[in-house]
Amino acid sequence: MSAPADSDPTPRTFAAMGPLTGRIRVPGDKSISHRSLMLGALAVGETRVTGLLEGEDVLATAAAMRAMGATINREENGTWSIHGVGVGGLLQPAQPLDMGNSGTSTRLLMGLVASHPITATFVGDASLSKRPMGRVIDPLSQIGAEFEASEGGRLPLTLRGISPAMPTTYRLPVASAQVKSAVLLAGLNTAGTTTVIEPVPTRDHSERMLKGFGADLSVEEKDGERVITLKGEAELKAQTITVPGDPSSAAFFVVAALLVPGSDLVVENVGLNPTRAGLFDVLRQMGGSIEELDRREVGGEPVADLRVRYSKLKGIAVDPAVAPSMIDEFPVLFVAAALAEGVTTTTGLDELRVKESDRLTSMAEALAAAGVQLEEHEDGLTIHGSGGAPLRGTANARVKTHLDHRIAMAMAIAGLASTDGVLVDDTRPIATSFPTFADLLEQATASR
């Protein structure tokens, strides 16, 4: 869960630490980790998961699935064992489900609860309590679930699920894998065909994993849209899963190695699902040296080790069509742009305003405080790069991270490429997705 309310913010200054070299391995993919626990908790038999991300967001999902009847244990060697309740078998939780900082836990679990005859209350931290839930309330209301939400369709929220639920056909009004997944997960315990139409493709881990667990799911292209159909009620069979490394976590080290002179770093075991790997293509377009070594498959996902060398980057106009495949990577891309030569423009990023913080405003303010020239627009930032010269940094002025792990990590990387260092106001949120971030930073800058 999120940092306990009674713990104090933990500020830290990130300053130049020298080149990043050697080999590091980032923790498991957050999206795949959440889904492993949820699908394992609904499957019949024992699901075994290695490489699960043990961050606070994923632990919030584990606690919620336990509260609804699944048996979930971590073995000493780090393997997770899940005994599921079977589709339709979720139990009414005795307490409100504390989702901490995690939008993915909240929205996907709302989908699961919606088609079960149970009532659950969802609560979260200050950041999560500001985020819009209407985007899942709308389709889940169509299947018959009922909601009592706080003002503006926000948490705390109570959901009364329904069984039997009505199958639905839903065209996504926003490009959101969370909304797509919520509707598909609700479809598991709904007799008939649930259809989700995606005008813009988003990460497809739910589709891949539902098929892997034995659900009757198909994906077709029709008139340039992705049409996903799921036949319920489904029966899921327990699986053995290896979670690949999270490209969204690797992103911070890839950008750091590109920006710090003398760096030559291998980031091992990085998931390169095409619906996730947009950042690496954009960085290559900017002139970044990112080489894929030993491309292979792990847990049904393409994976490679990435060798990244210090590069002189050039500003570009980022194609808004790539946004869904790098939606969580814009904060750190903005840092790369701040050190590039020339101007980088980004557009079509309205969704960044409803993440763990408003990431356009958070990053515009944080980078400006570190001496970067930029303009904030309704749907993107225009950044005037330093041409490779270190950023000034913030010295003793605190950068506000607004309980957003990715703002904290992006500004930490900015600090590595600054003269005065960057003082991040609170590093606690980093543990939601990347608990080993600081240790890996030490490791990558120490090995020579």
Catalytic residues: 328
Which residue number, 116 or 203, has a Cβ lying nearer to ligand S3P?
203
Task: Name which of 273, 268, 279, 280 is nearest 304 in CA terms.
Answer: 268
Report residue 247 as tokens.
Answer: 């490209």
Please report the DSSP string for 185-221 in residue order.
HHHHTSSEEEEEEESS----HHHHHHHHTT-EEEEEE
The 3-state secondary structure of 30-57 reads HHHHHHHHHHHHHCECEEEEECCCCCHH
Which residue number, 44 or 174, has a Cβ lying nearer to ligand S3P?
174
Strands 398-399 and 422-424: parallel
Task: Name which of 95, 97, 90, 81 is nearest 36 in CA terms.
Answer: 81
Our CA angle for 14, 19, 24, nearest 5°, is: 90
Amino acid identity for residue 316 in this structure:
I
Task: Name which of 363, 389, 357 is nearest 375 in CA terms.
Answer: 363
| Strand (E) or helix (H) holding 102 | none
CB of 254 to ligand S3P, least distance (A): 18
Q: Which residues bind ligand S3P (CB under 6 A)?
A: 31, 104, 176-178, 181, 203, 327-328, 351
CB of 428 to ligand S3P, least distance (A): 18
Which residue number, 359 or 428, has a Cβ lying nearer to ligand S3P?
359
Whether the CB-CB separation of 374 and 368 falls below 8 Å is answered with yes
Which residue number, 313 or 363, has a Cβ lying nearer to ligand S3P?
363
Which residue number, 203 or 428, has a Cβ lying nearer to ligand S3P?
203
Whether the CB-CB separation of 84 and 56 falls below 8 Å is answered with no
Our CA angle for 198, 204, 207, nearest 5°, is: 95
CB of 327 to ligand S3P, least distance (A): 5
Which residue number, 333 or 391, has a Cβ lying nearer to ligand S3P?
333
Asked if omega into 390 is within 30° of 0 (cis), the reply is no
Which residue number, 177 or 308, has a Cβ lying nearer to ligand S3P?
177
Spatial CB neighbours of 166, under 8 Å, sequence gap ≥ 6 = 142, 143, 144, 190
Amino acid identity for residue 7 in this structure:
S
CB of 203 to ligand S3P, least distance (A): 6
Instruction: List alpha helices for 43-149, DSSP H.
Output: 56-67, 103-114, 134-142
What are the DSSP E strand ranges found in 200-342?
216-222, 225-232, 240-242, 264-271, 289-298, 301-309
CB of 174 to ligand S3P, least distance (A): 8
Task: Name which of 77, 13, 27, 29 is nearest 440 in CA terms.
Answer: 27
Which residue number, 305 or 356, has a Cβ lying nearer to ligand S3P?
356
CB of 406 to ligand S3P, least distance (A): 9
CB of 175 to ligand S3P, least distance (A): 7
CB of 198 to ligand S3P, least distance (A): 11
How far apart CA 425 and CA 77 sit, in angstroms, is 35
CB of 31 to ligand S3P, least distance (A): 3
Which residue number, 104 or 311, has a Cβ lying nearer to ligand S3P?
104
Whether the CB-CB separation of 131 and 156 falls below 8 Å is answered with no
Our CA angle for 306, 175, 103, nearest 5°, is: 75
